[in-house]
Structure formats: C-alpha cells, structure tokens
Structure 1
Amino acid sequence: MTSIATTDAAAQAARSKYRWVVLSVIVVVYMLAAADRANIGIALPYIQKEFGASNAQAGLLVSAFFLFYSLGQIPAGFLLSKVGVRLVAPVSIALTSVVTLLIGTAHSFGLLKVYRSALGVAEAALPLSMLSTINRWFPPREKGLATGAFLSAAKMGAVLAPPIGAALIMLDGWRTMFFAFAVPGLLLALIWWWLVPNDPRASQRVNEAEASHIEDQGRSDNEPGRAQKSFGALDTFLRYKRTAPLATSRSVFASWNIWGCGLGYLLMTGVVNVLLAWLPKYLGEVKHFELMQIGFVASLPFAGGVLGNIVGGWLSDTVLDRRRKPTMMISAVATCLMMIALVYAPNDLLSVSLLLFGTGFLLNIGYSSFSVYSMGLTTRSTYPVAASLVNSAGQAGGAMAPLITGMLLDSYSWTAVFVFLGVCSLAALVFVLSIYEPAGLSEQNTTN
C-alpha cells in the first residue's frame, strides 16, 4: 500500500497543471465580456435622459443584446463543432471589443439598438467556446468547479462594471465608459490564440501525466473505478438513472432533459438579467442612493454570485457527487424567497447591501449546474450543440425579462417586478423537477 501511495504522489507531482492556466484565461476573457454587457445598466439612466427614452424603450435596448445573443447560440454551437474553439473564440472576443467601441459613438437611440444587437451576435460564441473548452480540458470530477469559476467570471464582470462605469461617467460621460471597456479585448484575443489550443494533447505545455488525468473518467486518482455514492430517497426524488449518451445532434434536439434544463435556465437567466440591467435604476429611484453608492450596491448581487458559483460548483462536484439538480432546485426556491424579501427591503444602505449580496449568492448556487448538466448526457462532440440549445433558451429569457420589466414599470411598480421574478423562479423549479438526474456521467462522456 505504501508503494502504491508513493507512486500516486509521484505521478501527481510530475503532472503539469496547465489546465488551470487555460481556466484563468477563460475567467479573464469572460469577465471582460460580462463587463461589456453589464455596463449598460449604470449608463441606462443617462442614455434615457439624453434620448428621451421611456422605460419600455430602455427595456428593449437591454433586451436587444440578449435576443440576438440567444439567436446566435445554435449557429455558434454548430460552428464550434466544425471549426473548433481556437479560431472561433479569438474572433468573437475581438468583435465584442469593436462593437463595444461603436456603442460609445452612437448618436441616436435607433443606432444604439443596432449596436447592442450586434454585440449579442459578436458574443454568442463566447460562452459555448468556454464551456466546450472546459469539457475537453477537465476530468468529470473537476468540471463543476471549473464551470463555477467560469460563470463566476460573468458575475465578477458585473461586479466591476457598475463602480468603474460610474467613475468613468462622472469623469467624462457615458460614452467614454464604452470606449474604455473596449480596449482590453483585442489583447485578450491574441492571448487566447497563443495559449489555448482545442485539445490538451495539442499543447506542448501539457505533459502526458496531465493529459491522462484529464482523460481519466474515474472518481479520483486513487480509485479510478469507484461507483458513485447512493443517496437513497434523494436519488429517487431526483430520478437518478443511467441513460444512453446523446451521440448525435438529432438525439440532443429530441431530448426532454436538454429542453427542460434549457427552459429552467431561461427563467433563471431572466432574473439575473433584470438585476443586471435594472438594479441601478431601482436603487436610484426607489432607494434614493447617490451615483457612487449605486455603483457599489449594484455590484453586490454579482459579488455574491461569484461566491455562489464557486460554492455551488464544489457542492455539486464533491458533496453531491456530481448531482446537478439539487443545486438548481436550491437556487430556484431561494431566489423566489429573496424576491419577496426585496419587496419589503428597508431603505438603509447596509440592509439593502446585505440583502442583495445574499440574493446573488443564493441565485448562483445552482446557476452553473444548468451548464454542467448536459455534459453528463452528451459526448464531447455533441456537447457544444447541447450547450448551444440550453444557452439559447437561457438568453431568450434574458431578452424577454428586461423588456417585460420595463413594461411593468411603465404600468405598475417595482413590487410587480419582484413578484414577476419570484414566479419565474418557481416556474424554473417545475422544469428542473421534470428532468432526470443522469448517473454515471463520466462513462457517458468518452466519445470524441
């Protein structure tokens, strides 16, 4: 036994760790992309004032991005499966920066909508590129944590955008903010091309030990054949079962598990995007905070989201032994409760800050699981198609919810908005309950 343990320890010591460098590139790139889409929230009151736009029109401006982002997902998924990430991702990163720059040059509200739509098209391939990269660069027991880190980058971008955006707006207006956010992307496109090939074995920085570790379908280094834990009644409730891998695009589109996951994601993404786009306006109009206070407090749900994504990924990977539905269910129920709490939120800065941080944390406990879930149902070659379908549905919700919010605000109040978001969360729970929890995830994900 001592000899085996010594051999395992030596193998781990000799193993390169380049996959974590790849994940770091993913996190930085997606953090910037998220900031490019989130900065509209802090700029929205100034854009409305300059162009005389109503809340419904402002909601349409926000939704234009997510509509075209959604429409671009499935074509991007097929493109990635044929061309590969190494070409698609850098082009998408560079185009995102160019369009962000153009937004700052817009001198009519109509042109702003055109550029926001173009931003959605430019960014459409990014999340799929990164999820596909995680699927190829990480073994099953690390995918939940890696995906949690990836999605936490989106929240970190939303953390940085409001305070930085507020400072830039105070310095030189909302247009300067978009110019500043556009610059880093061109450099990051070159960095991706240089550092991230399609597969681990294509990189000279990955040694044989790490490549074998990534391809290992077992539970741990010491127990490569161990079966997953049994959770008894919980597994019965989750409908935990072994299913055949979805090996063709046709089977992906015919799977209710994929569609149910996508519809749940649609509703939860709607909640996230309403907070992203409309929270600064809520804090200014309802809570009467100053601009820099708004910049700070509006970032707190996403600061909580960073922690929630990491904790949720670890929880589903380790404690729940790669079961994804439980964290989805926790997020759906908790988000509904937090929306009720926001209706009765006090006006003092500390209370609102704590409430919004908690909202972000709980909402994101299971947010990454919506993206990881289909990894357990597909092969490596069909995962981009499944991910595109789920993400397309999610971004459709991201497009609809901000627009509906603007219409509710024109006709009713913020209470109606929070009730609407609470109902969305409960509906997401219904869809999550309708899908299976796939067993033996690693065994299903071996076909290239």
Structure 2
Amino acid sequence: MKEKKSGYRWVVMALLFILYTVANADRANIGFALPYLRKEFAMSNTEAGAIISLFFAGYALMQIPSGFLVKKFGMRTMFSVGMLFTSLFTGMIGMANSAFALKALRVGVGVAEAPVAIACTTAINNWFPAKEKGTASGIFLAGSKVGPLIVPPLCAWIISVWGWREIFYAFMVPGMLLAIVWYLLVTNKPADSKFVSAAEAEYIADTSVVQKEEKKREYKLWWVDKLVRAKKVNPLTNSSQVFKCWDIYGAAIGYFFMVGIVSVLMSWLPTYLVTVKQFAIMKTAFVSSAPFAGTVAGNFVGGWVSDNILNKRRKPMMMVTALSTTIMMYSLINAPADATLLAILLFATGFLLALGYSAFMAYPMGRVNKESYPVAFSIVNTGGQLGGAGAPLFVGMILDKFNWDAVFLALAIGSFICLAVVATIVEPVEDPVART
C-alpha cells in the first residue's frame, strides 16, 4: 500500500507566519511609541529617525554574518537563538532611561533579529518544493505585515491603560515562548522530522513520482519572458559565485528601496497622521493599520500569482510593485483629509507594494542551490535592511528642512529607481518561452 503523504510543511508554514508576525511587531511598536518617546526625551525629527534607523543598521550589519551562521549551524538553532534575544532586547526598551539607552537597545533588537529572517527564508527553501515557494514566501511575508497591522490598536490600548513602556514588556513574552516551540517542532530538513512521511519528503525534494507525473500548466506568455529577460542559467553553487553575481546585487538594490518605503510607513506614518492630519489616537491607530492590511492581502495574491499564473517567475511581480508604488507614493502628496478615504488609499498602497515584495525573497531560490541560498538571501536582505536603516533617518532630515510633500516625492523617485535596477537582472527559468 502506498504511503500517505503528510502535510506537515504547512504546520511549519503556520509557525513561520505566527513567529514572523511577532518578530515584526517587535520592530514596529517603536513607531507608535515614537511621539511619546519624543516628549519624554526631547528629540528632533532627525534624532527620532535615528532611533528607528538604528534597528535596521544593526539588522543590516548582521545579515551576511547570519547567512554564514545559518549555513553552519542550521536554521533551527539560529532561529531560536535569534528570536530569544530579539524578545529580550524588546522588553529592555521599556526600561530605558535615556535616548542613548534607546539607541543601544534598538541596535540590539536589530542584531538579534538578523538570523531570524535568514533562518525563516531558509526554512521555506528547505521545506517547500519549487512550485510552492512563491506562495509560501507570500504567506510568510504576509505575517511580517500582520505585525504592523495589529500593533497600532494594541499599542493604543496599552498606552491608554498604562503607558509607552508597557508596550515593550507586553511584546517581549510571545517571542520567547515561540522560540522554544520552534526548536521542539521544526528540524533543519523535512526528512529528519518525525512528523514528515517519506512521501512528503520526496514531494518537497521534487523527486516524488506524483510530482513528476503531475500535469503542468502550459505557459504561453512569451512577451513576459522577453520583457523580464528570462533565460536558462546554471544555479550558483558556492559563496564565491554568489558574491560575483550581478543578479543578486540587482535584487538587493531593488529591495533597498522597497524595504525603505515599508520602514517609513511602519515608523513615521503615526507621526504624520497625528501632526499633519491632526487625528486622535484611535483614529490614528485605524488609519495606520490600513497599509499593512493591504500588504497582507498583497503578499498572498502576489505569491500565488508568481507560482500559478507566472509559472515560478519572480521578476514580473517585482517590476509591477516598483511601478505601482511609484504612482502611489506620488499620489500621497494629495492625500485626503478624511480618515476613511485616506485609509482606502493607504490600503491600496500597501496592496500594490506587497504584490512583488515576496518575489525579492523567492528570486534567489531560483538563482542558487539550497546550500548557497542563506548567503545569497543575506546579500539581498542586507540591501533591503540598509534601505530600512537609511529611509527613516532620511525622512527625518527632510522634515527638518522641508515637509511631507517632499518625503512622498522622494519615496516615489526611489521606487522608480528600483524599477530601473530590477529591469537589468535575469529571470532564471528552465524553459523560457519564445514567440512562435
């Protein structure tokens, strides 16, 4: 009798979703607390931007080292260690008694969380077959936006009942508990897990008879392959090849601008709503959540389209996101004053931004082998997190000299640069479509 195929990879996916939601809540809560921190520690816009940026600075600094650590010690161990220390530093922010302490602890959160991101994406690469990686990446990154989605109302409630310090105490506990759960339930490779059947392990490895015989949808979009420069290339097999590949750096530069825009929305949007739109705290919480509700939906849709409509092509959605985000950032210059209309506009902004967001993570999966993926994605994510570090600080500097119109214009220009750079990289496919 043929062994029944288990579905434990989706349990792993559910854990990834929950854990990355918590991790991103730990980084996003500073945005809602920022107006209160500025009152207590008397900061300028530039100084406030630095508080936000220091997380991303520590995070970016540790990306490539984390790639090598995950490659050496495995994603299971590095994820749990990283998540434990991320939660610990988050809780300690509530004890800060100076701006310097806040800055140091934000760096600590960034350094600790760096291996979490690399371990999560490595888990997806190890635990899912090629035809499901885009969908899995979209679900995973949807979790990254659920964190910022739940942060505003939760933080608003905590502040109204207690104060800003209690935000960080409350956010510390879930991550510490979930880090232990992850270590107990997830192995580095599916074949090593007692919860995974041999049939599922074969399916994930793309070697099962069922998968080989599965009818594949014929892909006919020759014009897409021409537009994205699709061609057959040999996968990169070692770190030396990865560090010499322009495609990896091109994806990293594109991700630089996308993560930068997300970090601005995550960190500066509540301040914009309070100071420019003059919204009350609960209305601010409602509108602040809107772009991240959009990104949750966009990540699901974008990942599914990448796998099922575009036949594992990642670059088309990257380009769609870059172009549409350019338009949406420019449209925010004339953002409506009505909270409902502004929330709708921000929801659409988040949705379009997220359509190709997961593709930046999935792209190296098709360009390198599994052993080299942690290093390849660490380069891409370094680019992204440098954008996350620089953008909030840059926004603070703009606001000290100009206004929010200049901020949105700068973000629109950055997104257009992303489109231009991503257009230069190769789309790696097994069988590019030619016009007949």
2:118 is matched with 128
Q: 1:328 aligns with which of 318, 322, 331?
A: 318
Q: How many corresponding residue pairs?
A: 431
> Does 2:71 match 1:90?
no
Percentage identity across aligned positions? 47
Return the letter of the residue paired with 1:124.
A
Alpha-carbon distance in 1 for matches of 2:210, 2:313: 16
Return the letter of the residue paired with 1:314.
W
Kept in 1, the 8 Å contact 2:133–2:362? The answer is yes
SS in structure 1 at match of 2:211 = coil
> Does 2:387 match 1:397?
yes
1:319 is matched with 309
CA positional deviation for 1:233: 2.2
SS in structure 2 at match of 1:60 = helix
Q: Which runs of 5+ in 2 are unaligned?
A: 432-436
> Does 2:333 match 1:343?
yes
Return the letter of the residue paired with 1:327.
M
CA positional deviation for 1:217: 6.0
RMSD, aligned α-carbons: 1.6
Return the letter of the residue paired with 2:25.
A
1:58 is matched with 48
Kept in 1, the 8 Å contact 2:202–2:208? The answer is no
> Does 2:250 match 1:254?
no
The correspondence of residues 255-270 of structure 1 with structure 2, limited to 5 A, is: 255-270=245-260
CA positional deviation for 1:226: 5.5
Alpha-carbon distance in 1 for matches of 2:167, 2:197: 43
Alpha-carbon distance in 1 for matches of 2:15, 2:423: 35
Kept in 2, the 8 Å contact 1:94–1:186? The answer is yes
The correspondence of residues 163-312 of structure 1 with structure 2, limited to 5 A, is: 163-216=153-206, 221=211, 223=213, 229-312=219-302
CA positional deviation for 1:295: 1.1
CA positional deviation for 1:227: 8.9
In structure 2, the CA distance between the partners of 1:392 and 1:220, relative to structure 1 (3 Å rule), is: farther
Q: 1:437 aligns with which of 419, 422, 427?
A: 427
In structure 2, the CA distance between the partners of 1:233 and 1:337, relative to structure 1 (3 Å rule), is: same
Alpha-carbon distance in 2 for matches of 1:219, 1:111: 57
> Does 2:359 match 1:363?
no
> Does 2:41 match 1:30?
no
CA positional deviation for 1:222: 6.3
Q: Which runs of 5+ in 1 are unaligned?
A: 1-6, 442-448
SS in structure 2 at match of 1:124 = helix
> Does 2:68 match 1:68?
no
Alpha-carbon distance in 2 for matches of 1:217, 1:128: 26
The correspondence of residues 3-22 of structure 1 with structure 2, limited to 5 A, is: 14-22=4-12
Kept in 2, the 8 Å contact 1:217–1:224? The answer is no
Kept in 1, the 8 Å contact 2:206–2:212? The answer is no
Kept in 2, the 8 Å contact 1:408–1:417? The answer is yes
Residues 216-225 or 85-94, more deviating:
216-225
Alpha-carbon distance in 1 for matches of 2:308, 2:291: 25
CA positional deviation for 1:221: 3.1
Kept in 2, the 8 Å contact 1:135–1:380? The answer is yes
In structure 2, the CA distance between the partners of 1:219 and 1:409, relative to structure 1 (3 Å rule), is: farther
Alpha-carbon distance in 2 for matches of 1:329, 1:226: 25
CA positional deviation for 1:22: 0.4
Alpha-carbon distance in 1 for matches of 2:26, 2:383: 21
SS in structure 1 at match of 2:235 = coil
SS in structure 2 at match of 1:229 = coil
Kept in 2, the 8 Å contact 1:328–1:432? The answer is yes
Kept in 2, the 8 Å contact 1:62–1:399? The answer is yes
SS in structure 1 at match of 2:368 = coil
Return the letter of the residue paired with 1:32.
V
CA positional deviation for 1:228: 6.5
